[in-house]
Structure 1
Amino acid sequence: MANSGLPPPSFDYVIAGGGAAGLVLASRLTEDPKIQVLVLEAGEDLTADPRINIPAMWVQLAGTSADWCFKTSPQTALGGREIEFPQGRLLGGSSALNTMLLIASSKSNLDFWARLGNEGWDWASLSNCLKNVYSLHSSTSSLSADRGNGPIQASFPEEDSKWPQIWRDTIADLGFSADNPPFSGSVCGAVTRPEAVDPKSKTRSYVANTYLSSASSRPNLVVWTSTLVEKILFSSPRGEDDQPVATGVQYTSTRDGQTLTGQTVSARRDVIISAGAINTPRLLELSGVGDAKRLRSLGIPVVVDNPFVGEGLQNHAIVPLSFEIAPGEGEGDGFDTIDALSRQDPAALAAAMEAYGRQTGPLSKSNTNVQAQLPFPNITSEEGKRDLERILNDTLRTTAGESESFPDTTNKTTPAYDAALKSYVRSVLESPTETSAFYMTVPGWASYNPNGSWAPVPAGNEKYYSAPVLLSHPLSRGSVHVTKSSPPTATETSTTKPTEFGLEVNPNYLSHPLDVEVLARHVQFVESVLVATAKPLATHIKQSSSAKRSPGLPPGPRAFAGDEGLERARKYVRETALGAFHWTSTCMMLPREDGGVVDPQLRVYGCRNLRICDASIFPLVTRANTMATVYAVAEKGAEIIKAGL
């Protein structure tokens, strides 16, 4: 692996983006010694950085040079808030700064991908690809079929408090399974997730220190860091189809204190974009692939007219929910939390570091892997079914743009895709075994400020338990588009003002009224049932109006109970909802007439020798974290490309 000096004049494949997908592709393609691959990554190689390697330090890189430091446009349905969100700008991409959770999507979700016109992209295929991603270290016999044989090392963290079992027992008391197999594809109830953590070293296991590390000595693989791809280069149309041909890329590279601008490198076979759901459409539009009207208005020469580039942006809206635990539940009694550590208490820090030296304690894990995926609240009762039918009738027959409460929806989709998505979401909501929300747990404070930054744990000695809720299948969709014709400079990409990039990210959070109704009911369920009445969890939460809670959460207990409480839950959702780090679907894999940008071979419509392989191609966001599916998609992408050699 070379990282300095001038590259050869051409490679078989040039990959724009050295994140989770790009490095999997590079590793798999260069297994053939005759194939030469160049990877260009805008960020640096930080594989030795403890902020990456120590699992609990995953939040420390946000807002640094390793983060693109993006921010959304003002979100109409969220009161005009602009929300910050991290995206990895380093070797390994966001797999270097996320929560490390290996979460398979649901069978119904991935089978829906195939039904949209993507033959072979289904649960059976992608779950097999996922097994080539990870190796699960577990002695549990029920997981023997899910052990995998891939480079990413996966393990279950030590459970050193009573909180995980309390959560599982509480979910079981509500009538759901307490112990779902994490890779089953049909999780409904409590689930304990494996983390991408090497159990031998208790360090993050991610694409840069596994896939890339094992391939780094190959002479046919070159990786350049601190190298920003500015645009794709095309030759004039030729051949029977009279389509433009991607021939290489133009880039700017910084090495040894010098910045080289306007550099080019050629691809003999394909240019592959693996820049993620935000940067991939940016790169396409700067290269002349996108909505012709938009491109011409910016002075960008049109290469391929496709109005769906950058459209369809999806993400999970997340609502923070932190609750003060009952008095008397403290250190040494099995109810430890990470609050003292979050407060930077010197004694807690010293104890955590000492424990990590023994490969144990709160620094050795994400502290987020005990979770639940649950269906629409009360769906098995007649009252719950009537409630769901009413909101479906009220929201699915009225588009967000026609509703006074939700006036801002700008994404372009085709009627066929829109109808299919609504039908799928309806089927999920109506099923008692499909899940519409994803509940995380944290043994400590886990809340955010309205702009998306972390809200510090309140001063004092109180301890907290958090159960934030994510909406699994949003109907709200947004867009990512460039607002100027020139790529960002090296200086601009190192600032924390993404508007200087000439990029608008508009997820349109909660712009569809059904999203608000579903998410508000799940939030109501957490506040008024899970932490208020459900046993045993409720007995460990402080049930008093004086109990401290997430910012903006009304005093409890059961502030969201009943119809009036549901209206308060809606208000809380609009005032506090943010986005997860699960961006997808801006260059969807669909038939072109249905809004697609790539075909099932990952080829960009309207040109030749250009592919995309990253989360931007997802035709539907996964029902929870995206990392495992990104890895699986890259494995499948490598299979497709190698099969065509």
Structure 2
Amino acid sequence: MRQVFDYVVVGGGSGGCVMAGRLSEDPSVSVCVLEAGGGGNSAIINTPAGAVAMLPTKLNNWAFETTPQSGLNGRKGYQPRGKALGGSSAVNAMVYIRGQKQDYDHWAALGNAGWSYDEVLPYFKLSESNERIHNEYHGQHGPLSVSDLRTDNPFQQDYLAAAREAGYPVTDDFNGADQEGVGIYQVTQKHGERWSAARAYLLPHMDNRENLVVHTHALVQKIEFQGKRAVAVEVEIKGQTHRIEATREIILAAGAFQTPQLLMVSGVGDSSELASQGIECRHHLPGVGKNLHDHPDFIFGYKTRSTDNLGVSLKGSVRMIREMLRYKRERRGMLSSNFAEGGGFLKTDPTLASPDVQLHFVIALVDDHARNFHMGHGFSCHVCLLQPKSRGSVGIQSKSMKDAPVIDIGFYQNPEDLEVMVKGYKLTQKLMQAPSLAKHVVEDSFTANVKTDDDIREILRNRTDTVYHPVGTCKMGNDDMAVVDAQLRVRGLEGLRIVDCSVMPTVPSGNTNAPMIMMAEKTVDIIRGYSRVAAGAANPTNEQLEQAEHLAEVLP
């Protein structure tokens, strides 16, 4: 087995797939990907509705839990994360959302040069191939397919009608000039199939690039250093331990939980915390594992008699047989659903400059991440807080990567988050009680007895959990708690870079998969020292022209 590469990518999630796929475009560069899960190309992954089998189980899913949360009345939270090539893009709801202009301008204002909205928008467009929307905000030639849903579900129109009845604006593009409004999500699908980061960037090249090697079922145990330089990783592949060396860089893309865990078990982190686990500190970096945050999320749920919504019943089972045949024939209908078909971005205070809560309208009754089963049919609506102030942390319980990280998500540690969620609850309830949706309800499954603001606070504490957007545990910045610089290099070390959601200093206002893919696309240019965006400018520099000539020779 080959042991030495230019780049070793730890983790085959969205960031890792982009880095490996793009860097290996140059045949003079060798790349090795190490993914702890499987191949990411099974029918259960590629069929969008297959997510319902993966989310509540350990199928392609790490299925982590948090520590007991005081803000959630002592409950443990659930943290599913993708475990396959494609990472969480192989198990998520495929919602394509970038966030708000203010998110990235804030990153830049924190001292992260190059990450303002105007500087990252071209990389969103570079990654994207949008099926319908052709304007200055969208791309049509990238590897990541973005399309409208193909479910043909009439409930979508009732959802939009309810929004109009509630007085909320309706939009057909959450990623354009203005995010505010209610609408139907675009998704990372192609012809009705999931289009994960692996299908977009990695899988097409695994059999035809000799410079690209991908190992699945490969759990990295430790990073090896020579002085302050990261030089190799120790990895267990199918029961055998190997040492794989990187001559240029090790790129960590293991996610917001396992990237800080890997750093800590390798001796990089807060020296006192490492000492408590008997780990020799190779590099004191106190911010590793800190600044963890996520969008706290609450779900309304209702039962209905309509079989347009997913559920279990005799009548529904007969319909599902027809839907399975239709999907096989047309790649349309219920099996192409991402479940969270509709959404919205709303302001809890009209004086706010931008929305501060997000909705996910689900064509099924969802309870505890689909881990609590309900007979019959229904629909749900999530509401989550976009800019939470609460912060948690990731720690380790041992020296081994085989043990789960210690996740303290910290929901509602800052009381302001709970108060904004009370307002978000009321906005969402108003939408759910609008006539076009209310006419379908035969039972309010969770909130029928919630009357007062104190009732709302209590049910929020009892039922809030993640909406699957953890970030921040190796944040980008230049303050004492920053872990990487604006080029995503680990501060104080050499040959080590992080390209996953852990580097986001603050969570974007929306789903995190599209922002992560953008960040990886930009980081490819940072590593190459050549901007594909600037090369298209009117007056490229001589260095950019030379780089363009080189890439024209070596890239397909």
Same fold by TM (over 0.5)? yes
CA change 1:226–1:465 in 2 (3 A) is: closer
Per-residue deviation, 1:445: 1.1
Does the 8 Å contact 1:592/1:605 carry over to 2?
A: no
- Structure whose CA Rg is larger: 1
Per-residue deviation, 1:535: 4.3
1:377-456 maps to which residues of 2 (within 5 A)? 379-380=349-350, 430-431=351-352, 433-448=353-368, 454-456=371-373
State yes or no: 1:311 paired with 2:290. yes
Question: Which residue of 2 is the match for residue 241 of structure 1?
Answer: none
Per-residue deviation, 1:96: 0.5
Question: Which residue of 2 is the match for residue 224 of structure 1?
Answer: 215
Q: How far, CA to CA, are the matches of 2:29 and 2:64 in structure 1?
A: 35
CA change 1:183–1:502 in 2 (3 A) is: closer
Question: Which residue of 2 is the match for residue 549 of structure 1?
Answer: 444
CA change 1:456–1:372 in 2 (3 A) is: same
Q: Secondary structure at the match of 2:32?
A: strand
Aligned residue type for 2:47: I
Question: Which residue of 2 is the match for residue 213 of structure 1?
Answer: 203
Structure 1 residues 248-291: Cα deviation after superposition (integer angstroms, max 9, x where no partner): 1111111xxxx112x21111111110100000000000111100
Q: How far, CA to CA, are the matches of 1:44 and 1:50 in structure 2?
A: 13
Structure 1 residues 359-391: Cα deviation after superposition (integer angstroms, max 9, x where no partner): 221101213131111001xx34xxxxxxxxxxx
State yes or no: 1:368 paired with 2:347. no
Per-residue deviation, 1:159: 5.4
Per-residue deviation, 1:625: 0.8
Does the 8 Å contact 2:193/2:331 carry over to 1?
A: no
Q: Secondary structure at the match of 2:443?
A: coil
Per-residue deviation, 1:33: 1.2
Question: Which residue of 2 is the match for residue 189 of structure 1?
Answer: 181
Aligned residues: 528
Match of 1:520 among 422, 431, 442: 422
Does the 8 Å contact 2:124/2:139 carry over to 1?
A: no
Question: Which residue of 2 is the match for residue 350 of structure 1?
Answer: 321
Q: How far, CA to CA, are the matches of 1:144 and 1:344 in structure 2?
A: 46
1:96-245 maps to which residues of 2 (within 5 A)? 96-138=90-132, 143=135, 145-158=137-150, 160-184=152-176, 186-199=178-191, 202-216=192-206, 217-236=208-227, 244-245=228-229
Does the 8 Å contact 2:9/2:252 carry over to 1?
A: yes
Q: Secondary structure at the match of 2:75?
A: coil
Q: How far, CA to CA, are the matches of 1:185 and 1:610 in structure 2?
A: 36
* Identity over aligned pairs, percent: 30
Aligned residue type for 2:204: S
Question: Which residue of 1 is the match for residue 458 of structure 2?
Answer: 571
Q: Secondary structure at the match of 2:527?
A: helix
Per-residue deviation, 1:211: 0.9
Aligned residue type for 2:301: S
Question: Which residue of 2 is the match for residue 496 of structure 1?
Answer: none
State yes or no: 1:623 paired with 2:509. yes
Decide which moves more: 123-132 or 14-23.
123-132
Question: Which residue of 2 is the match for residue 591 of structure 1?
Answer: 478
Does the 8 Å contact 1:531/1:541 carry over to 2?
A: no
CA change 1:344–1:633 in 2 (3 A) is: farther
Does the 8 Å contact 2:295/2:386 carry over to 1?
A: yes
Does the 8 Å contact 2:13/2:88 carry over to 1?
A: yes
Question: Which residue of 1 is the match for residue 50 of structure 2?
Answer: 57
Q: How far, CA to CA, are the matches of 1:330 and 1:485 in structure 2?
A: 52
Match of 1:274 among 239, 253, 257: 253
Structure 1 residues 440-494: Cα deviation after superposition (integer angstroms, max 9, x where no partner): 112231222xxx552212x3x5x42321111111111101111212332xxxxxx
Question: Which residue of 1 is the match for residue 311 of structure 2?
Answer: 339
Unaligned ranges ≥5, structure 1: 1-5, 237-243, 381-429, 489-500
Q: Secondary structure at the match of 1:468?
A: strand
Structure 1 residues 103-131: Cα deviation after superposition (integer angstroms, max 9, x where no partner): 11111111111111101112122221111
Q: Secondary structure at the match of 2:262?
A: helix
CA change 1:291–1:634 in 2 (3 A) is: same
Question: Which residue of 2 is the match for residue 289 of structure 1?
Answer: 268
Q: How far, CA to CA, are the matches of 1:576 and 1:46 in structure 2?
A: 31
Question: Which residue of 1 is the match for residue 382 of structure 2?
Answer: 468
State yes or no: 1:246 paired with 2:230. yes
Per-residue deviation, 1:347: 1.2
Given the two structures, how large is their TM-score scaled by the length of structure 1? 0.79
Aligned residue type for 2:466: G
Q: How far, CA to CA, are the matches of 2:153 and 2:517 in structure 1?
A: 32
Q: How far, CA to CA, are the matches of 2:22 and 2:60 in structure 1?
A: 25
CA RMSD of aligned residues (A): 2.0
